[in-house]
């Protein structure tokens, strides 16, 4: 069993910051934990504008607070994201 708090993960260096300083992410569960998936708490800062692309994995995102509009580069479709919304990419 793995039991880990957000504070513990941050104290152990599992929190990273984007080079542009527009988001941070605390990795609560990583590949080394041998669970077959990872789990992160990510905060995207207000006013952030950036593109994300994953070559080697899928991601499921659940919005806890705040609102944003996500746009797919491929077709330009826009999706409103607000608390209670999940999106998968």
Same domain as 8, residue 43: yes
Examine the fold and report which residue of 19, 34, 49 is the final residue of a domain before the chain moves on.
Answer: 49
pTM: 0.81
Could you read off the pLDDT tens digit of each residue along the chain, which spans 89 residues?
999 999 999 999 999 999 999 999 999 999 999 999 999 999 999 988 888 777 888 889 999 999 999 999 889 999 999 999 999 88
A 10 A CB-CB count for 80 gives 9
Same domain as 6, residue 41: yes
Domain enclosing residue 24, as ranges? 1-49
Same domain as 38, residue 65: no
List helix spans (H) across 6-89. Answer: 6-11
Same domain as 34, residue 13: yes
Same domain as 41, residue 2: yes
- What residues contact 66, with CB distance under 8 A and at least 6 apart? 44, 46, 82, 83
Backbone angles phi, psi at 7, to 5 degrees: -60, -40
């Amino acid at each position: 069993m793995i039991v880990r708090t957000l504070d513990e993960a941050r104290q152990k260096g599992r929190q990273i910051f984007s080079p542009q300083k527009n988001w941070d992410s605390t990795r609560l569960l990583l590949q080394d934990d041998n669970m077959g998936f990872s789990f992160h708490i990510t905060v995207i800062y207000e006013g952030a504008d950036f593109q994300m692309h994953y070559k080697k994995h899928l991601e499921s995102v659940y919005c806890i607070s705040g609102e944003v509009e996500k746009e797919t580069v491929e077709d330009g479709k826009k999706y409103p994201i607000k608390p209670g919304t999940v999106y998968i990419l």
